[in-house]
Amino acid sequence: MTKLELTFALRQQNVDQLEHLLLLVSDPKSAQYGKHLTLQEVAALVRPSQLTQKVVRHWLQSHGVTDCQTILTQDFLQCTMNTQVAEALLPGIEFHRYVRDGISLVRSSSAYHVHEDVLQHLDFVGGVHRFPPKGQDLNEVLTKRRRSGAKFHLGNTPATLRSRYNLTAADVGSAQNNSQAVAQFLEQFYHPADLAEFMTLFGRSFQHLSKIDRVVGVQGAGKAGLEASLDVEYIMSTGANIPTWVFTNPGRHETQEPFLQWMLLLSNMTDIPWVHTISYGDDEDSLSSAYMMRINTEFMKAGVRGISILFASGDSGAGCRHLTKGENSFRPSFPASSPYVTTVGGTSFKNPFKVTYEVTDYISGGGFSNVFKMPDYQVGAVEGYLKAVPGLPPKTYFNTSGRAYPDIAALSDNYWVVTDRVPIPWVSGTSASTPVVGGILSLINDQRFLKGLPSLGFLNPRLYQLQGQGLFDVTDGCHLSCLDEQVQGQGFCAAPSWDPVTGWGTPNYPALLAALVLEK
């Protein structure tokens, strides 16, 4: 009989207070700015009530489920059981084995029910329904770029990026207590030999590290993943000389959700890196609102501790959802649409033959959430865009009152990556721009630490207060969307100041450093 590992998200306490505290410690105008909480303080705030813990544990034990692990914040339980027990515990579900891309998963396609006495104490049960989303096939993008004649271009390397964003050879990490991380899911692994080879080829002009500081989880054997290689090589060549961790898919059970597993690790480790970059996303409409709301709270828990979490905005532009009666709407992505992460879009060089100014990369994900309301920190910027830009897509395509993203951007096309010891050009996507921005924020943290200042933490309130200061504004180009008569494949377009394609623009490191270090 198949063994399952299910994750029970217990209802937390004081979530409104957590949100209030996060905004205070993240706002430079607040007296509490930078006064981050420890994990123990977060746990004391959100820990489920004694009643909640008692009811859920009693319910599990009454079905013979006793093999459960909790975490420091006590708001998740991970329990091992067989399929027969799980189906009795959660009436309505029926587990089957599915094989996709050579990976075996055990999931239920039908909805589950929880007794009403327990329902009020749970947010969701993980490991039941969700299939990991298919990652963007970078090899497919690679083939498309080759076919489009993209071989005649400069290509993005650490030297190109450091030149464009005004990083000198001296702009490398040196603080003792600094670190950064990438998180990798979907059976993606990096190879140490690829990282070493990449730094030999592309890292000679600046001081750097050629080894990962720590791997959390289990690295798979076999071929390196292009996505994983890209993440590691570019956060470590932009955030150069800063110790870097890799969170990787532990893959212990066929029911495990790697993304959820990573979220639990964040709440169970007192000492973790200050900046995390993740190239992962799912359509909002494929997820339950209860799941997204709870994951959003997990991002708040990280932010209030002074941790910066960056997500790629996605590679489908505004996206497209085909509704009934031939109508369409744009399709926002989560976690990119969470108000409590910093979301990174993508750009291209206007002239691909030299380091010039940037324009929109047509794939750059962006838009408006259908789940999360627009946070106060961005209302002025977003309303300014909606009022000032002529020729917006029809209002029926997007939610004008939703959280708008991305927040910032960087170059996202034609990267050189070393994978399986071979340098490969034409690698593209916001999974390239995200570790670049992450590395730059790590360098800024480094300078803050040397001055005795706290980490940047949740960046967005401060980023929107800067109103583009320290960034190159991207004002040219549009991204893709629905191929229909009304929008004809065009989503939103870049504009002066903030826009839902490139956010506030791309980093001008010396100016951004001055803006984020000098005042506080």
Token representation of residue 162: 């450091």
Instruction: Say whether 87 is catalytic.
Output: no
Name the active-site residue from 227, 233, 315, 473: 227
Kindly report the three-state secondary structure assignment for every residue of 28-77.
CCCCCCCCCCCHHHHHHHHCCCHHHHHHHHHHHHHCCCCCEEECCCCCEE
CA–CA gap between residue 371 and residue 376 (Å, rounded):
15
Radius of gyration, alpha carbons of the chain: 22
Which neighbouring-strand residues pair with 427? Answer: 415
Q: How many residues does the chain have?
A: 520
Helix 430-450 / helix 226-238 crossing angle, nearest 10 deg: 30
Count Cβ atoms within 10 A of the Cβ of residue 176 and give its class: 0-12 exposed, 13-18 middle, 19 or more buried.
Answer: exposed
| Torsional sign, CA 116, 118, 120, 123 | negative
Peptide bond between residue 91 and the one before it cis (omega within 30 degrees of 0): no
- Is the separation of the CB atoms in 316 and 325 below 8 Å? no
SS3 250: coil
Name the active-site residue from 231, 282, 407, 413: 231
- Is the separation of the CB atoms in 365 and 345 below 8 Å? yes
Name the active-site residue from 26, 179, 431, 433: 431
Helix locations, 413-508, DSSP H: 430-450, 460-466
- DSSP assignment string, 112-143: ----HHHHTTEEEEESSSPPPPPPP-HHHHHH
Residue 121, CB-side half-sphere exposure with 13 Å CA sphere: 23
CA–CA gap between residue 464 and residue 380 (Å, rounded):
9
- Is the separation of the CB atoms in 366 and 504 below 8 Å? no
Helix 192-202 / helix 226-238 crossing angle, nearest 10 deg: 50
| CB atoms closer than 10 angstroms to residue 146 | 12
Count Cβ atoms within 10 A of the Cβ of residue 257 and give its class: 0-12 exposed, 13-18 middle, 19 or more buried.
Answer: buried
Token representation of residue 62: 């009454």
- DSSP assignment string, 303-343: HTTT-EEEEE--SSTT--EE-GGG-EE---EETTT-TTSEE
Instruction: Say whether 431 is catalytic.
Output: yes
User: Active-site residues: which are they?
Assistant: 227, 231, 431
